[in-house]
């Protein structure tokens, strides 16, 4: 089974890469058709769709009575998104990732939202009331962004109705394959990890977390390669906010749970620091440079070392 799981993992990864390539193409065309910026399309559409892998893992773990596994996946994937994914995307971009969206230049709401699950979960428990607060905080952010979306309008040539309808359909189809590819990439990656006897929580924190980041990583790499940096930025940040608020809130609503508070103390803190570092780099020059991308990658490596030390692996 070990070899079979490894082969199926690579097949799923290939499907993921190809579907992400097409998703970038069609989402850009849909953005032009509706005269809205690519940032908003990626933030509201791509990011919501790309959280499906970790959402599936987390909700299933909550239903099965092991929500701690889902919490580790969500927080771990956010650390990976804000450091590993951002770092890799910055390195592969031509001149770094340029930030054009005013809401990210001036608004601290993003960092405040990363603190919400840390503050609420500091006692090692998430109640249904706290789940509601988390879901509402995520919704408030997206509503706020939608009200401010006029600043993201983009004047482009209007394309024919039949064309945008066709592109929208192909975008939905691409995203469906992306979700399927991501789901099975994670599934067979976890099966392979179990074959070599890696502890469950560390699987959630590392392999599953990184696996669920693959849609953002592949999508964003394709975006910067085709000079659609705004798509890359919106996808990653939208996914992180959804994971940190709405999805953790849903876990608590399904099954209020207690967990080892070290998850919040260590992984939650790493998530916030990764967000703080990313925003600081972006605000410093309105560009996430290749050098800063290297710093983010180093941060991710350090965070993994700390996680392994805390979990007594060494």
Q: Are 16 and 214 contacting, i.e. CB atoms less than 8 angstroms apart?
A: yes
Q: Count H helices, E strands: the chain?
A: 18, 4
User: If one looks up domain 39-151+185-310 in CATH, what number appears?
Assistant: 1.20.1420.30
Average pLDDT over residues 111-124: 93
CA proximity to 40, closest of 142, 109, 136: 142
Residue 231 clears pLDDT 70, i.e. is over it: no
pTM of the model: 0.76
Whether residue 103 is predicted with pLDDT greater than 60 in this model: the reply is no
pLDDT at 155: 44
pLDDT exceeds cutoff 80 at 148: no
Per residue in 180-203, pLDDT (tens digit) is: 887 787 778 778 777 877 766 677
Cβ of 4: how many Cβ atoms within 10 Å?
12
Identify the band that residue 135 occupies on the pLDDT scale cut at 50, 70 and 90: very high
Percent of the chain's residues with pLDDT above 90: 19
Query: How far is residue 240's CA from residue 141's CA, in Å, rounded to a whole number?
Result: 12
Cα separations in angstroms, 68 against 20, 119, 239, 258: 30, 17, 20, 8
pLDDT tens digits along 8-59: 888 887 887 777 777 767 776 776 677 666 556 655 566 666 676 777 778 8
CA distances from 260 to 132, 167, 191, 226, 266 (A): 21, 46, 25, 43, 11
Q: Is residue 160 helix, strand or coil?
A: coil
Residues in the chain: 314
> Is residue 92 within 8 Å of residue 221, measured between CB atoms?
yes
> What ranges do the domains of the chain cover?
39-151+185-310
pLDDT at residue 156 above 50?
no
Q: What is the DSSP string of 108-120?
A: -HHHHHHHHHHHH
Nearest residue to 151 via CA among 104, 98, 192: 104
Residue 144 neighbours by CB distance under 10 Å? 13
Mean pLDDT score of the chain = 78
User: Can you tell me which residue has the tokens 């979700």?
Assistant: 179
Closest CA to 113 of 299, 220, 249: 249
Q: What is the mean pLDDT of residues 140-154?
A: 64
Q: pLDDT class for 152, splitting at 50, 70, 90?
A: very low
């Amino acid at each position: 089974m070990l070899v079979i799981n490894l082969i199926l993992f690579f097949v799923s990864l290939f499907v993921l890469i190809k579907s992400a390539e097409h998703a970038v193409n069609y989402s850009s065309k849909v953005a032009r058709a509706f005269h809205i910026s690519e940032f908003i399309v990626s933030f509201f559409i791509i990011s919501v769709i790309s959280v499906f892998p970790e959402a599936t893992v987390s909700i299933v773990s909550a239903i099965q009575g092991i929500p701690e596994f889902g919490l580790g996946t969500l927080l771990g994937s956010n650390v990976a998104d804000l450091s590993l994914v951002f770092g890799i995307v910055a390195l592969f971009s031509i001149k770094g990732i340029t930030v054009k969206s005013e809401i990210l230049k001036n608004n601290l709401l993003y960092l405040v939202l990363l603190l919400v699950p840390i503050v609420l979960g500091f006692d090692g428990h998430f109640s249904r009331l706290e789940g509601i607060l988390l879901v509402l905080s995520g919704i408030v952010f997206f509503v706020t962004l939608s009200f401010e979306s006029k600043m993201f309008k983009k004047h482009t040539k209007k394309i024919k109705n039949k064309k945008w309808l066709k592109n929208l359909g192909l975008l939905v189809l691409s995203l469906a394959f992306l979700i399927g590819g991501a789901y099975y990439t994670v599934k067979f990656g976890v099966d392979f990890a179990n074959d070599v006897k890696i502890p469950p929580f560390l699987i959630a924190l590392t392999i599953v977390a990184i696996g669920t980041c693959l849609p953002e990583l592949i999508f964003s790499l394709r975006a910067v390669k085709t000079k659609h940096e705004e798509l890359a930025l919106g996808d990653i940040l939208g996914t992180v906010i959804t994971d940190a608020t709405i999805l953790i809130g849903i876990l608590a609503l399904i099954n209020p749970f207690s967990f080892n508070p070290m998850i919040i103390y260590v992984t939650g803190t790493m998530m916030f620091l990764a967000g703080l570092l990313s925003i600081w780099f972006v605000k410093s020059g309105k560009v996430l440079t290749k050098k800063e991308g290297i710093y983010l990658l180093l941060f991710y490596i350090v965070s993994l070392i700390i996680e392994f030390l805390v979990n007594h692996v060494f």
